[in-house]
A and B are shown apart, each in its own frame.
Chain A
Amino acid sequence: MHSESDLEILMARYQQGDYAAATALIHQLGPQLHRFFLVQSAGRGDADDLLQETWLRIHEVRHTYRTGEPVLPWFYAIARHIRVDHYRRALRTTGREQPLEEVPEPAAAPPTASGGITDLQDLLAPLPASQREVIEMLKIAGMSLEEVARATSSTVGSVKQKAHRAYAKLRERLSGVALNEGRAGGFG
């Protein structure tokens, strides 16, 4: 996580054509945005493509950022737009394709019982996309409710509601895992 004011300064310098600032932003925020795409169920290859596409768009529209405004919602709003656009195009393409046989929907991988849950993707996999992105922004990117509301073009109330529902689902899932772990431990 990075200080918001540092990012603001880097962004202002990036707008002035400072290559070092642009590179610093790419190295600081690139991994964070990459994880955002990974958490949204994109494969690693897709996440790489989305990250590249996002940065090209950020570069094109960098003049739309205004100093003094929160930086992260600006970045995430663009990243979100690219992701939605990407899936819309993918749906259009796959809609025209005719599958040769029925492929079963992959089930969400159960959290690892032995080492606890360390894989964020697996942990958040059962949540709907809208809840996943809210949890990712709040808990992983460290954004405030207000910032998440700005990035997702919604209200603080709606963000709170999604986070609440996501926590309820996670609680249910993690309690189940803990119970299973307990049983496994009992029998072992």
Chain B
Amino acid sequence: MRDREIDAILNQAAQAPNDVDPALLASIANSVGRSLTPVRPLPPAWALAGGLVLISVAVALAGAGRLGFYGIQKMSVLDRALIFPALGLLLWLAATASVAEMIPGRRRVSPPILLGAGSLALVTVFAILFRDYHTHHFVHEGIACLSAGLLHAIPAALASWVLLRRGFAVNPVAAGLVAGTLAGLAGVTMLELHCPNFEAPHVMLWHTAVVPMSGAAGALLGWLSNRRA
């Protein structure tokens, strides 16, 4: 049997009328009509994504401003030229993905791929730039950076939620994962501005870990909200 024949059978089956009770359609129209008011459509996706990037940058700058800009001051020009554009690009990608998750039927990037590729890109950039493989106070300083990064991800996530609150996530777990990834990137940006510890294992593990941990927290929150709904 050829595809064309299957198409013909499907078309024939599709043409069979599907009678929906007219009373049902009328009842739906009545329900809709009772609360029908003009609504303001969401702003363009690029404006929402731009807003999310601004929020992330503002949180990172505010955090680093409070803790001190020691990291960026210690960086070479090459370090700055590679790390911050890479973070900017990842922030933009995560922001556009986050907006796409809040608008039904929009083209989207797979959230786990975004998280994995984003984390891998960060590790690669850090591996290229940082060559000091000593590990002084590896766990102690690492946990301090991880905590600071995650603490800054929280306000970034909350402010992003306020911006996107009018959206509708058809997959709350994916939306949470992407929002968490974006917030985690805000946390990493803050760490790069602030943290003067340039030991490669420290930066590659503890700084980057903020992104998957924040993404996982976002996915968990999405899952919980979906279960409670």
| Residues on the B chain within 8 Å of A26, using CB | 25, 28-29, 32
B144: CB under 8 A from chain A? no
Chain A interface (Cβ within 8 Å of chain B)?
15-17, 19, 22-23, 26-27, 30-31, 34-35, 38, 48, 51-52, 55-56, 59-67, 69-70, 72-78, 80-81, 85, 116-120, 123, 135, 139-140, 146, 149-151, 153, 155, 167, 170-171, 174-175, 178
B13 touches A123 (CB 8 A): yes
| Residues on the B chain within 8 Å of A23, using CB | 29, 33
Task: Provide a sorted-by-A list of 26 A–B residue pairs whose CB atoms are within 8 angstroms.
Answer: A15-B39, A22-B32, A27-B25, A30-B20, A30-B25, A34-B18, A59-B36, A63-B41, A63-B42, A64-B42, A66-B42, A67-B41, A69-B103, A73-B106, A78-B105, A80-B170, A81-B170, A118-B12, A118-B13, A118-B16, A120-B16, A151-B105, A153-B108, A174-B6, A174-B9, A175-B1
A38 touches B9 (CB 8 A): no
A48 touches B38 (CB 8 A): no
Closest 10 CB pairs of A and B: A73-B105, A74-B105, A77-B104, A17-B38, A81-B170, A61-B168, A63-B39, A120-B13, A77-B105, A140-B14
- Chain B 6-38, CB-CB to A under 8 Å as 1, else 0, gives 110111111010111100110111011101111
| Residues on the B chain within 8 Å of A178, using CB | 1
Chain A nearest CB: distance from B164 CB in Å?
10
| Residues on the A chain within 8 Å of B171, using CB | 81, 153
| Residues on the A chain within 8 Å of B170, using CB | 77-78, 80-81, 153
| Residues on the B chain within 8 Å of A118, using CB | 12-13, 16
A-B contact count (CB 8 A): 149
| Residues on the B chain within 8 Å of A73, using CB | 104-106
Assembly CA distance A178 to B2 (angstroms): 13
A55 touches B168 (CB 8 A): no
| Residues on the B chain within 8 Å of A34, using CB | 18, 20
Assembly CA distance A85 to B168 (angstroms): 14
B40: CB under 8 A from chain A? yes
Chain B nearest CB: distance from A108 CB in Å?
15
B146: CB under 8 A from chain A? no
B174: CB under 8 A from chain A? yes
Indicate whether A48 sits within 8 Å of B21 (C-beta atoms), given known contacts A15-B38, A26-B29, A64-B167. yes
| Residues on the A chain within 8 Å of B40, using CB | 63
Assembly CA distance A103 to B55 (angstroms): 55
**B38, closest chain A residue (CB):** A17
B1 touches A174 (CB 8 A): yes
B166: CB under 8 A from chain A? yes
